[in-house]
Amino acid sequence: MSDLGFYALRLALGVATLGLVAGVAAGVTQRSDWAEVARRATLIQFALLCLALLSLFVAFYRLDFELAYVATNAARSMPLPYRLAALWGGQAGSLLLWCWMLAAYSAAAVTVNRRNTRLLPWVSAMLCGNVLFFLLLLNFVANSNPFETLPPQAVMSDGSGLNPLLQHPVMLIHPLMLYTGLTGFAVPFAFAFAAMASNELGSDWLRITRRWTLFAWCFLSIGILLGGRWAYEVLGWGGYWAWDPVENASLMPWIAATAYLHSVMVQEKRDMLKIWNLLLIGLTYTLCLFGTMLTRSGLVRSVHAFAQTEIFGQLFLGYLLLVAALFFGLLVWRSPRLRAQNQLESVLSREAGFLVNNWLFMALLGVVLTGTMFPKLSEWLEGVERSVGPAFFNLLGAPIGLALLLLTGVAPLFAWRRATKARLLGQLLWPTISFVVAAATLSFVLRERFAWLAILTWSLGVFVTTTIIQEYARALRARMRHGEGPARAIANLFRKNQRRYGGYIVHLGMVFLFVGFAGAAFNQELLENLRVGESLSHGDYRLEYRSARAIEAQHYGGAEARLALFEAGEPRAIMRPERRVYWLEEQPVSIPSIFSTLMEDLYLVLTAVEADGSATFKLYRNPLVNWIWIGGLTFVLGTLLVMWPFRAGRAGGGASAPPSAF
């Protein structure tokens, strides 16, 4: 079966090359037969990659230790779900998964849009070119082919196994969600490239790819949130985001894509910001490639990164520069024809709000990119590698984030073209009152532990929430005056203008996320050594250390402590933090025990157990952290509502996608 996968990759390489050549030939000559060859090549390469992926899954299922990749990432002691998930736990398998997802998106895009003869040849060429590059890596770069076999004398009866930290339920799906998002941006990128290459510079490509972009953005958002949840539950450091380079590698394309999703509405409504939109989608996909290179090239240090050869990084950098040069070179060439006919009429307009939104997101992207690459930049410029910590990102990113949060509440109140001051002031009245009341109340309640940034964040959250409620109330009153009941009015609101009112739910999710982020200003931690029977008190909580027991497993050993949790004297839970050492990796790991409520988490880490039975514990109190996960769920719900294909036409809420769109 592994031989089948090996030859499937080789055949897919030839088919992808044919698709690229045929697509370019069809785009240049406008010949429909070449366009059909390119389209069919896209479908065939997907079928071959399905065969390769299935072959690798079978190898993991059967524990075929003749394959170097299986021997490195699987072991007989691993449960079947983790054994199969080990496919994307290393370099070669993750590349194959990435390539397969690219091919899946490519096949779906050329099938759904097969009647779009103007753009499809160039779309096929770009998508096949993307797949071709990853196939070149998989076939010819050392340590990148998952079907490389070990010499007979090196084959062992058992494998090394997956990194213990990755054997967690969240990691079964986190990479899938992340890759589904990152690779998905290849489709709108390819259509944007095709629009410029074919000189079809209207808004058709935007409408065709709107749901494709939303789909990718939604899954990238889920992947980022799941990564934060995994870090919080597994790494035992009390946090969910450390501004690690690999974390930032997924955040940067998300920032660019978020700006793009807002900016396209101006082009659809007012035929403006065409250059901005092409720039943003080009930036989004090149950042996806950049993040992939960052993870695998060794350019920056990260606990998440895959170790790789120098030639791999050089090849990836060359491809990244080639793709960027092609896309942005076309953008510069076509820029004279992309200039808007309509002009910005007022700073008090929705167009101006979206333009400010773009610049704020670009500023945030600049902060994240600079902080991520600072060690390498300092090494190039000064010869000494210097790094920046979370304080750098928080100090520069927080004001930009708060400005974006404010804009989330203000911008929907602006009218297109020009808003009258009287109407705008009337709409801002109740949100402003709610902001002032919230700020005053929070300042009084928190006067003993005053944190102005958290108070400002929560007050802005109240401002945005009031704006959203006000917008819903106004729209529902208008519909109910025409005889609709409340339930029908809400249903019709989403059916006829899902982008606007689904978008408000996304904004509400962002408010919840900011509520959780701001709670970190009041985090507390305590380190203490306890003997059996002794207690640790913190506020209303008391933890009584009952016992500790040894843990003996095949691949690790350690200890589990057992503590009774009381709140205001009432028993609440038994907490069982663990301290493990994985023998093969020589890796100590603290598995925290977490007691969650809506208002805070009690996060307990066992750091050491002494010979006399005493144990050292680190206790974290993390206020409002669960609002991050609530915000994530709300965020995803809103995105699904925006994407949902309601049957009725959309009225007054932006253009709907044509039937050929996803």
Give the model's pLDDT for residue 298. 63
Give the model's pLDDT for residue 160. 82
Q: Are 516 and 523 in contact (CB under 8 A)?
A: no
Alpha carbon distance 468, 406 (integer Å) = 12
Q: Read off the pLDDT of residues 333-350 as tens digits, 9 standing for 90 and up.
A: 999 998 877 787 788 888
Give the model's pLDDT for residue 442. 94
Q: Can you tell me whether residue 551 is helix, strand or coil? A: strand
The stretches in the chain having pLDDT less than 70 are 1, 297-310, 554, 584-585, 646-662
Give the model's pLDDT for residue 657. 37
Q: Are 102 and 189 in contact (CB under 8 A)?
A: no
Instruction: Identify the DSSP state of 153.
Output: G
CA angle 282, 287, 288 (to 5 degrees): 100
Tell me the sheet residues that pair with 580. Answer: 558, 589
Q: Are 132 and 16 in contact (CB under 8 A)?
A: yes
Phi, psi angle pair for 527, to nearest 5°: -115, 125
Strands (E), 419-518: none
Give the model's pLDDT for residue 78. 83
Exposure on the CB side of residue 374, measured as CA atoms within 13 A: 16
Tokens of 3: 């031989």
Give the model's pLDDT for residue 119. 93
Query: How many helices (H) and strands (E) are present in the chain, helices listed first?
Result: 19, 10
Give the model's pLDDT for residue 307. 53
Alpha carbon distance 60, 92 (integer Å) = 13
Give the model's pLDDT for residue 659. 32
Tokens of 297: 């090239």
Going by C-alpha positions, the residue among 110, 13, 105 that lies closest to residue 52 is 13
Q: What type of residue is 369?
A: L
Give the model's pLDDT for residue 459. 97
Give the model's pLDDT for residue 554. 66
Give the model's pLDDT for residue 600. 95
Give the model's pLDDT for residue 206. 92
Alpha carbon distance 288, 316 (integer Å) = 12
Give the model's pLDDT for residue 660. 34
